[in-house]
Each structure stands twice: as structure tokens, then as C-alpha cells.
Amino acid sequence: MLLPESCSVKVDGNECRLPPSFVVSIKSHDGEYMVAVVCEQHKEGLQYKLASMQNEGKLPAGKIQFQTITAVVTDCVKGMEEDYVEIDLKRGIGSERKP
């Protein structure tokens, strides 16, 4: 899942530029709804705000959940000449390699 690069919280009209640490969702009887991503510094404030919005009926009632975001990083895969030869010979199909 592709997530925003920064926290969803605004402070005094300015967007928080910190990377998110949690995906925030509300789990209710009819499903789970993702509502924001938040950094560690704004987690408590957002939890209070969401609970307040639930009390006002602006958000569905349910359990507010914070799921830790785990970054996954991979090395870039580069096609080597040997890879193209394998495709040509073993699989019996022409590759899109540039001569």
C-alpha cells in the first residue's frame, strides 16, 4: 500500500513534515476505515481529536487503532546480459534487450 510521505496533522495551519509512524484506522461493526497516518509526536493529540469527533457523530463509533508502519526496502534489480541470454535460451522467447 502506498502511504503519504508525511504526517496527516496540521499545527497552526502548517502541515507536519515528519514521516508517518502509524496508520490510524477506526474499526467499527461494519468494517475498518483508514483515517490518517501520523508521526510519533502527534499520535496522542490525534487520538484525542478522533475520540472527540466520534462523540460529536462526525466519525463512526468504534475502536481507534494505531498500526506501526514498517518500512520495506529492496535493492534495485538490474538486468545483466546473462539474464537476457537465459530468457532467450531457456524460456524460448525473445527478450527486449538492446543489442
The rounded distance, in Å, linking the Cα atoms of 93 and 87 is: 7
Residue 59 lies in a domain: yes
Residue 97 lies in a domain: no
Number of folded domains in the chain? 1
Domain around 44: 10-90
**R_g (Cα) of the chain, nearest Å:** 22
Tens of pLDDT along 39-92? 999 999 999 999 999 999 999 999 999 999 987 776 665 666 666 666 566 655
Residue 1 lies in a domain: no
pTM of the model: 0.67
End-to-end CA distance of the chain: 36
Where does the pLDDT of residue 20 fall: very low under 50, low under 70, confident under 90, or very high at 90 and above?
A: very high
Residue 27 lies in a domain: yes
Residue 99 lies in a domain: no
- The burial of 20, by beta-carbon neighbours within 10 Å (0-12 exposed, 13-18 middle, 19 or more buried), is given as buried
Residue 95 lies in a domain: no
